[in-house]
Each structure stands twice: as C-alpha cells, then as structure tokens.
C-alpha cells in the first residue's frame, strides 16, 4: 500500500476548504476519511455501471460494505458513463430516483466513477433540496487529476459541452491509485492528456519528469504514478483556490479544451473520440496556433507533440480515420465555448512549455485559415 497523501484545497477568502486524499487501496480504509460526513445519514452512491457489485473483490463492493457499517442507509444507483449520456435525460433519471428514495436535507451523495459520473452527480447534488453534501471518488485517471477537483459540475447539450451546470464544491475527494489497474488502456491513456496539460501551463520541471519517466508512468509503476496524480492535483488546487469561478487564472486550465469541446460536440459525443483524446489533439492545436501567430517556437511545438505521442495519444484530428469533420462547422462550434465574451473567441495558447497565455484578440480569418490547415475535408 502506497503512502497516503493529503492536499488541502482552500479558497483564498475562506469560502470553501476540503481535502484531496491520495493513496493506494485507500478504499479499504474509506471510513476513516469520510465517517464524519456520512455517519447515521442516508447515502446515495451514483456509480458507473462498468463496475459490477456482484463481484465481491472489486472496489465498489468494498465501498458499499464499508459505508453500510456507519451510514443509516445506502442506496446505489448505476448510470452509464460516456459523454453522450451526460445529458438532461440522465439528470432527470437521477433526480427522480433519489427523490423516490425519500432523500433528506442531511443526505449525502457519493460519486464513484469517471468524469461523467462526477460531473452529473455533482450537478444533482447542487440542485436537489437546494444543495446536498457530496463526496467524489474518481475512478479514472482523467477524473482523478482533473474533473473531480475544483467544483465544476454539469451536463452536455447538443449546442455544446458543459453549457448547463454549477460551481459546487465537494466535501472531500478520495483518490485510490490502485483502481487505475482496472481501466481499459484507452481510458487510462486518455487521462494522461490532462496530466500533460498541467506541466505545460505552469511547470516545466513537471514536463521534464513526464518525459524522463514516461515508460514507468504508462505502466502505473510506483511511486511515479502516485507522484503525477499528486502533482496534478497540487497545481489545480492552487489555481482553483485563487480563482474558483474562472474569472481569471483558472482559464488556463482550458488549454486544449476549446478545440476539444468543439470536436466532441460536433461529433455528438460519440466514442470515436473520447475526452482525453480530444484534449490531446486540442493541446497540440493550441501550440500549432501559437506557432502560427509567432508566439511559440517550432522546437517547443515539436516537443509537445512528441510527449503526447509517447503517452499513446493522437496529435491531429485527421489521425482518427473514423472521423469526418467540416471546418466551418467546427468554427461555428467554437462560438458555443463558455469562454466567449462579447462575441469574441478566447483561446489558451503558449509562448513555450510551462507558459500559458490567454488570448482573445485573434482575427477570425486567422482561425478559419488555421482550421483549414488542421482539417482535411
């Protein structure tokens, strides 16, 4: 069992504070971390149906057995993951299910799954009875290093990704690194896109670590995998503590996401392109756009592309042969991005590894020209 680590995320004005607890097999000692939140209360566990409760050697089984000892009552509700299911239909299902079970004001929701489960479960928590306490237990690498931390909740719509949601902080985040061994390889690799993002926005030493140790990290070796999760959470915690609602520096966490969300939305959130893959492509596009604008050297762009490839991720949308896109459609989708202000697109670009730039004055013809270079119709 790896050593348990704790990161305290605290808003600078004291608005919120909660721990992120990281370690191997900590699901076996879950009650020591969450007892004060769930003791003698009704608990609702929203979980990914990828996990089979009937297999008594899995993580969901251990979670259910543990919390049932101290909670007043435990109700488990399964939903399908994937972004195409993060919608109003699933939201309505969860709300009605929980209300049917006679939810109370002191009830607690636990989300157990990847980013989709955490996002929609957090959203339900924020609106049911005008706000229920909830706990995040992310089970994918992407969720562990990114979506479970920071309080963004929401669902997707045909118009765009995460356009309906709230900022609502959990009471704690429990990250069990051993659960990553249960992931399909594609899901695991997708999470590395967000890890790489953290190194690129503000920590070149972290980038170097990812370059040097990529093989050990890919194979989930300790202490390397533990370190990258801890480091990613540290970086995000620092940023969120300073800017909860993306009024300033938090925007840099969207490196690669403007293009990624446009692709995902245009494709109808199909599994041909999952979120981490879209982010990887989006990151590379952000660097190539930075090069086009003359603010980033070609050598830096090549380093980023090479690192993305080392972590088994695509660097260009055209590398995915099952996908066919129209650049004009993608251009229109860009305007559904949440960062659009006064009709102007906002991009997170870079002047080099470890240096993020918020740019909102790029000529639209330049963007169209860039998309023409990136998308072969």
Catalytic residue numbers?
130, 152, 194, 236, 246, 250, 254, 257, 261, 275
Q: List alpha helices for the chain, DSSP H.
A: 31-38, 59-70, 88-100, 115-127, 141-142, 185-202, 204-212, 214-218, 224-242, 257-266, 275-292, 298-310, 327-334, 364-374
Please give the biggest Cα pair distance in the chain. 61
DSSP letter, residue 256 = T
CA-CA distance, 45 to 33, in Å (whole number)? 16
Q: 174 forms bridges with which residues in the sheet?
A: 21
Long-range contacts of 31-38 (CB under 8 A, 24+ apart): 31/66, 31/67, 31/69, 31/70, 33/172, 33/174, 34/67, 34/135, 34/171, 34/172, 34/174, 35/70, 37/108, 37/133, 37/135, 37/171, 37/172, 38/67, 38/70, 38/71, 38/108, 38/110, 38/135
Q: Could you give the CA distance from residue 240 to residue 246 in angstroms, rounded to a whole number? A: 8
């Amino acid at each position: 069992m790896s050593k348990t680590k704790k990161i305290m995320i605290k808003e600078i004005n004291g608005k919120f504070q909660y721990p992120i607890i990281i370690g191997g097999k900590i699901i076996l000692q879950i009650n020591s971390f969450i007892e004060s939140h769930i003791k003698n209360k009704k608990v609702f566990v929203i979980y990914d149906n990828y996990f089979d409760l009937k297999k008594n050697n899995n993580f969901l089984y251990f979670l259910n057995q543990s919390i049932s000892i101290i909670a007043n009552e435990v109700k488990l509700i399964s939903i399908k993951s994937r972004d195409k299911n993060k919608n109003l239909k699933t939201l309505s299902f969860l709300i009605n299910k929980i209300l049917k079970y006679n939810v109370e004001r002191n009830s607690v929701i636990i989300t157990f799954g990847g980013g989709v489960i955490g996002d929609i479960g957090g959203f339900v928590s924020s609106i049911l009875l005008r706000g229920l306490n909830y706990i995040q237990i992310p089970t994918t690498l992407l969720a562990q290093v990114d979506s479970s931390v920071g309080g963004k909740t929401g669902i997707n719509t045909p118009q765009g990704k995460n356009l309906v949601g709230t900022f609502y902080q959990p009471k704690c985040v429990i990250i069990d690194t051993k659960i990553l061994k249960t992931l399909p390889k594609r899901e695991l690799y997708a999470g590395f896109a967000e890890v790489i993002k953290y190194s690129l926005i503000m920590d070149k030493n972290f980038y170097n670590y990812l370059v040097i140790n990529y093989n050990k990290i890919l194979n989930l070796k300790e202490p390397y995998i533990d370190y990258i999760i801890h480091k990613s959470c540290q970086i995000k915690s620092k940023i969120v503590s300073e800017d909860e609602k993306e009024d300033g520096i938090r925007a840099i966490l969207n490196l690669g996401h403007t293009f990624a969300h446009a692709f995902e939305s245009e494709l109808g959130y199909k599994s041909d392109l999952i979120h981490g893959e879209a982010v990887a492509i989006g990151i590379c596009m952000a660097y190539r756009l930075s090069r086009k604008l003359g603010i980033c050297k070609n050598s830096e762009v090549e380093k980023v592309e090479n690192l993305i490839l080392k972590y088994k991720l695509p660097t260009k949308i055209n590398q995915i042969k099952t996908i066919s896109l129209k650049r004009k459609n993608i251009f229109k989708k860009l305007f559904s991005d949440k960062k659009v202000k006064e009709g102007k697109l906002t991009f997170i670009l870079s002047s080099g590894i470890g240096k993020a730039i918020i740019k909102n004055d790029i000529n639209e013809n330049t963007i169209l020209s860039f998309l023409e270079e990136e998308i072969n119709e």
